[in-house]
Structure 1
Amino acid sequence: MADNKVNPIDNAMGLLRLRVVRGINLAIRDVKSSDPYVVVRLGKQKLKTRIIKKSLNPEWNEDLTLCVTDPNESIKFFVYDHDVFSLDDKMGDAEFDIKPFLEAVKMNLQGVPDGIVVTKVKPDRENCIAEESSIVWKDGKVTQNMFLRLRNVECGEIELQVQWIDLPRS
């Protein structure tokens, strides 16, 4: 008998490669420092960076890939301080609305000059973007670099690079 489970990749729009570049001025949760890592969530997907020991300005430079099925879902980021003998401490959270990015992906950009700014996303009360962020057409791909200001914490930002990966259609 055939199994009727739906493969999430079947209704995927494409893949989002997130490079979690670094944390900036993160909150202190241990004595004088923290051992931060980032958890990224999109729908039921959950990915995690490695832990960087004793750093308030960690450099992860880690690529995490998410499968995008719903353009209305935002990507959520949670920064934690790793603790050995107790629950990990929260170090803030942030959110990224992928709609403006997906709008740029849908445009037919073949033949457009390399490095052209497709659109800009401005910081506002609805997003966690710390400064204006450009969505750029570069090397045949739509990319965006951004700084997200962490919420529910006294300080801290995370730097991200986002890149779209089309799925081959059968």
Structure 2
Amino acid sequence: MLSVPSSSSSLKVQVFDKDTFSADDSMGEAEVAVQPLISAASALGNTGISGTMQIGKWLATRDNALVRDSVINLVDGRVKQDVFLKLQNVESGELDLELEWVPLDQ
């Protein structure tokens, strides 16, 4: 769980393997735009809507590391987003993340 200010635009993630007898090796990095999730959650507000529906989308382009479009959903009153990213500064690799917006007052 991370506390992310609403003014944040992205989160940089560095991925390492876990070695028992030597130093951990870098497996790449990726940058996650959190603003689409923040914007969708803010626009929804505290409406008390439950159920499941799509409330936003972050499109895969040449300018970002998305493997495919990332949909932001409302699932049982929670704002969630699955993100599939290509790792950067490495020959190959992908990172799958599930983001969930949790207001600080919860």
Q: State the TM-score, normalized to the length of structure 2.
A: 0.84
Counterpart for residue 10 of structure 2:
74
Displacement after TM superposition at 1:121 (Å): 0.8
1:28-39 to 2 correspondences below 5 Å: none
Of the three residues 30, 52, 77, the one matched with 1:140 is: 77
Displacement after TM superposition at 1:148 (Å): 1.1
Note if contact 1:149-1:158 (Cα within 8 Å) is conserved in structure 2.
yes
Distance 2:79 2:68 in 1: 19
Counterpart for residue 59 of structure 2:
122
Q: State the TM-score, normalized to the length of structure 1.
A: 0.55
SS of residue paired to 1:103:
helix
The code of the aligned residue for 1:153 comes to V
Note if contact 2:84-2:97 (Cα within 8 Å) is conserved in structure 1.
yes
Which ranges of structure 2 fall in alignment gaps of 5 or more residues? Answer: none
Counterpart for residue 34 of structure 2:
98
Distance 1:82 1:94 in 2: 18
The code of the aligned residue for 1:82 comes to K
SS of residue paired to 1:124:
coil
Note if contact 1:71-1:102 (Cα within 8 Å) is conserved in structure 2.
no
Identity within the alignment, %: 36
Change (3 A) 1:131 1:66: same
Q: Aligned pair count?
A: 105
**Residues 12-69 of structure 1: per-residue CA shift (max 9 Å, x gap):** xxxxxxxxxxxxxxxxxxxxxxxxxxxxxxxxxxxxxxxxxxxxxxxxxxxxx00112
Displacement after TM superposition at 1:85 (Å): 4.4
1:152 aligns with 2:89: yes
The code of the aligned residue for 2:96 comes to E
Bigger share in strand = 1
Q: Please provide the CA RMSD for this pair.
A: 2.1
Distance 1:131 1:166 in 2: 27
